[in-house]
Chains A and B, each alone.
Chain A
Amino acid sequence: MSALVDLVDYDEAVARFDPVIGIEVHVELGTATKMFDGAPAGFGEEPNTSVTPVSLGLPGALPVVNETAVEYAIRIGLALNCSIAESCRFARKNYFYPDVPKNFQTSQYDEPIAFDGFVDVELEDGTVFRVDIERAHMEEDAGKNTHVGGSTGRIHGAEYSLVDYNRAGIPLVEIVTRPITGAGERAPEVARAYVQTLRDLFRALEVSEARMERGNVRADVNVSLRPTPESPLGTRTETKNVNSFRSVERSVRYEISRQAAVLDADATVTQETRHWHEDTGTTTSGRIKSDAEDYRYFPEPDLAPIVPDRAWIEEIRAALPELPAARRRRLQGEWGYADAEMRDVVNAGAVELIEATVAAGASPAAARKWWMGELARTAKQQEVELADLPITPAQIGALQSLVDSGRINDKLARQVLEGVLAGEGEPEAVVVARGLEVVSDDGPLLDAIDAALAAQPDLAEKIRGGNQGPIGAIIGAVMKATRGQADAGRVRELVLERLNG
């Protein structure tokens, strides 16, 4: 890992080579049980408690297909504009690894459930890029290894490993793209946007919580370079388990720079799997594709083929929810946002938040103002996602209605927001506890006004003489005296009444 790796500057690399990428995305389905047995498919259970003889691969245990998982796979296939197989079957992918208790993974090989589709991916500047889907197939997840001993907790230097089979058998759908060409220097961006698009799709389809940080969605990213778009495809590397959007983008960039240096040195790129290192932003060589990758697939004899009823497929198609791209277009129309505004909202991950805030009664403009303004700044400062801020759309709705009703002004609202974010409770409670209500009672306002006028008699005289210029200074003094809790409009009225009335 410490060996120095030659890299070609990214811009130079893409100027001289045409990158081609291919992405395999695994998504864990949010079914109640596993793919082939009734063990609960939960998260965070005690180790080895969500297991049955099937999950453990005990002799004689027989798998049975989870119908809901098949339905979810069909949903994904349809949403990706795929054809759904007339008939398909499972296959055994044979390899030895402790997290695969049967010594094979039950997957699909020559007969995936869905194939030949596409998905339109929208880049941050609004450019739409079509990614062709080769296939989407069903399979099962592996268990989880923990490497013990050694200094880094990684596999090298580990003295032994501990295996938890709770995850073994959780339903997965693997989505494989065709080679993605024509992206040029935007290949890393396309890769990221593609994975993000799929994540949004999984959520919209309600087939998975699709939480990247929990590994619900995992990407393997293939990259190769060729001299020109007309050249045959170059040798590719596959970077495994890239598990955040940012990492997808970075890993593609890194591989492009690295492979360009290899090719510049007149060497050949080795076809291999590579590991992504989040901390250093680099990839390192994993195993070289060779004999060890001969999986000797054969049809799974213990599982009957799946012949999805065409009527069932049409039922699923008819019940598909509105997909994210269509939904974004609809919401933009409803909210009256300009293209650039909507794009910022989408890129900030604020669509759902604003939708819920509007549902809670705020105007689309007010909802956008809060989430893209004050809250976006706070999220950035705290380096968290907007959705992870300790405030809900309902609370923003409540806050805005306090503003709309005149009980607080914009300035006080920001203090209320601060209070809610600090865990002081609902906006209403913060207003009361911090005493932030706009002073609507004229009594205290008049006292403050009189004091301000008395303190600056020359200004008072000018205003009385018809020059309204200095009124701002008086209002400012009143606002200061009331710690910002006065309604500036009302103060203006009262000052004029006082002097001219």
Chain B
Amino acid sequence: MSSLSRDEVARVAGLARIDLTPAELDRLAGELDVIVESVARVSEIATPDVPATSHPLPLSNVFRTDVPVATVDRDAVLASAPAAQDGKFLVPQILGEDS
């Protein structure tokens, strides 16, 4: 059951902003297909009485009390930004999308 097409891989890569060459697309389509098939095999084994698991650790309700902590120094923060102005991160003009 080959489920993942090359086009699908290209689309998902585009959504994730990953630039793939045609050769990479060919290779990854095959490799990802193997992974998808393997997961499908696991689904066959799982019986209906096994609930889907998104979190493997038996943990819930990990909460933090609503008390402020120290913030980071802005100069340090902006020092690692490619560009900054007026205490803000400067980013290139945003094209083709809206706010």
Residues on A lying within 8 angstroms of B by beta carbon are 31-33, 37-40, 46-53, 56, 64-70, 87, 89, 94, 96-98, 145-147, 149, 155, 158-165, 273, 275, 286-287, 291-292, 294, 296, 299, 301, 303-309
Contact = CB atoms under 8 A, between A and B. Distances in A.
B97 A48 contact: no
Main DSSP-derived SS at the A contact region: loop
Given A161-B93, A163-B88, A46 B74 contact: yes
Interface in B41-99: 54-55, 57, 59-69, 71-72, 74, 77-78, 85-94, 97-99
B11 interface: yes
Contacts of B78: 48
B98 A49 contact: no
A162 B71 contact: no
Nearest to B17: A96
Interface residues of B, number: 38
Contacts of B17: 96
A155 B99 contact: yes
A50 B67 CA distance: 13
17 contacts: A40-B71, A46-B87, A47-B74, A49-B87, A51-B74, A67-B65, A67-B66, A68-B65, A147-B94, A155-B99, A161-B91, A161-B94, A162-B86, A163-B89, A292-B97, A294-B15, A309-B61
Nearest to B83: A160
Interface of B: 11-12, 14-17, 54-55, 57, 59-69, 71-72, 74, 77-78, 85-94, 97-99
Given A161-B93, A291-B11, A64 B85 contact: no
Nearest to A91: B54
Given A94-B15, A145-B99, A306-B60, 14 more contacts: A32-B67, A46-B87, A47-B86, A47-B87, A48-B74, A66-B63, A68-B66, A98-B89, A149-B93, A161-B92, A164-B89, A294-B15, A304-B59, A307-B61
B9 to A, nearest CB: 14
A145 B92 CA distance: 11
A312 B34 CA distance: 46
